[in-house]
Amino acid sequence: MFLMESWYVFGWSYEVAEKPVGRVIIEQPIVVWRNVDGQIHAAEDRCPHRHAPLSFGRVEGNHLRCMYHGMTFNEAGQCVDAPLMAEAPKCSIRTYPVVEKDSWIWVWTGAPENADESLIPKAWGIDDPNKPMRSHGIEYDAHYQLIHDNLCDLSHVDFVHETTLKVASGADWSATEPNITASGRSIKYERWFVDAALPSDTSVRVDAWSTYEFVVPGIFILYGARFPAGTAEKCGYQAPEGVTPLFENIEQQAVTPISETKTAYRYATGLIMDAANVTDQVKARMEVVIKTFEEDRQIIEAQQKIWALTDPEMKKQFLPQDKGPTMMRRLMAKLIREQEAR
């Protein structure tokens, strides 16, 4: 079961250049291509003639030609040319609303008239010299919901990432509960970690402000900031305002379901600072994030295998830290119910 009425991250902007790129999102084959001016387009990756993939095709000006037998489509998806035919046949391919924003290509898989760009969450982007970031993409052999669960409950950092991110953050993730607020398609998590570590020098003790937003289905935007010890108390344990952070780290992550058991995961990890000042120590910190996400992949794929052997009706034990995942699952269920009612 997928949420259809949604923007999904197709990929990084830099991944689509002269050649069309074909990918499967929520079991739909989709091709994304740029016309001669670099403008981006998305369509079903299936030529109406023999259902061959248009991602094997060729861009010709503002048109996309199927390189199996030559049918050609314009940006609106209409067939404009077919070999041996004086007049192009009246047929077309489904096009998808597509937007490039903050270094990602976003595709709307719902009814085109509902493609509201304001639903696209604000991410960091990877091209800002004052926000040096590294981008990655991995694939999970797991249902997207297991990845959502993981992202909506960071108490797992203390266990899954005991020797990686937990050390780098110097925080006790499972000992504190974030303040969680829902709004529209988004769930926001905020908290202070008093007596955390400064990532660029873990011997320095600081107060850490951590906030992230999970926008269903599958966008995760994190901001972390370190302040001198005592700042949390000074701010009355509210969001820091008017205080200069010692260190700021950011993440942008996207979970894009491919099928019921395969999921694409694209993320960037970085800092808010002048790129020229990025030291080896900071680079090492970025490496930690990559190891961290590999740890997530390993336990979630193992979890998927257990789920495959388990009666779906089997009860699960609720814990306090499940509040975040539960709110997210309810929100997803509500949106899918609304989708089915339409």
Interface residue list for a copy of itself (CB under 8 A): 22, 24, 27-29, 45-46, 48-53, 55-56, 65-71, 79, 82-85, 89, 91, 149, 153, 155-156, 158-160, 162, 174-175, 177, 298-299, 302-303, 305-307, 309-310, 314-322
The answer to whether 210 touches 193, Cβ cutoff 8 Å, is yes
**Which token pair is 331?**
């929100």
Closest CB to a copy of itself among 149 and 207? 149
CB 225 within 8 A of CB 268: no
Is the Cβ of residue 135 or residue 176 nearer to a copy of itself in the bound state? 176
CB atoms within 10 A of CB 27: 11
Instruction: Give min distance, CB of 184 to a copy of itself, in A.
Output: 26
Of 52 and 278, the one with the shorter C-beta distance to a copy of itself is 52
Instruction: Between 129 and 320, name the residue whose CB sits nearer to a copy of itself.
Output: 320
Nearest to a copy of itself of 142, 272 (CB atom): 142
Give DSSP secondary structure letters for 210-261.
EEEEEETTTEEEEEEEEEETTHHHHTTTS---S---SEEEEEEEEEEE-SSS
- Residue 177 Cβ vs a copy of itself, minimum distance, rounded to whole Å: 7
**Of 300, 307, 17, 19, which Cα lies nearest the Cα of 161?**
300
Smallest separation, CB 254 to a copy of itself (Å): 21
Least distance from a copy of itself to the Cβ atom of residue 10, Å? 16
The count of C-alpha atoms lying within 13 angstroms of the C-alpha of 41, restricted to the half-sphere facing its C-beta, is 28
Smallest distance, a copy of itself to C-beta of residue 193, A = 15
Q: How far is the CB of 46 from a copy of itself (least distance, A)?
A: 5
DSSP state at residue 200:
T
Residue type for position 160: V
* CA-wise closest residue to 203 among 177, 224, 229: 229
Q: In this structure, what are the phi and psi dihedrals at residue 290, rounded to the nearest 5 degrees?
A: -65, -45
| Closer residue to a copy of itself in complex, CB, 195/201 | 195
* Residue 151 backbone phi and psi in degrees, to 5: -75, -25
- For residue 341, the minimal CB distance to a copy of itself (Å) is 23
DSSP 273-326: S-GGG--HHHHHHHHHHHHHHHHHHHHHHHHHHHHHTS-TT------GGGHHHH
* Least gap, CB of 161 to a copy of itself (angstroms): 10
- Judged by beta carbon, residue 143 or residue 266, the one nearer a copy of itself is 143
Nearer to a copy of itself, 16 or 93 (CB): 93
Among 75, 67, 59, smallest CA distance to 18 is for: 59
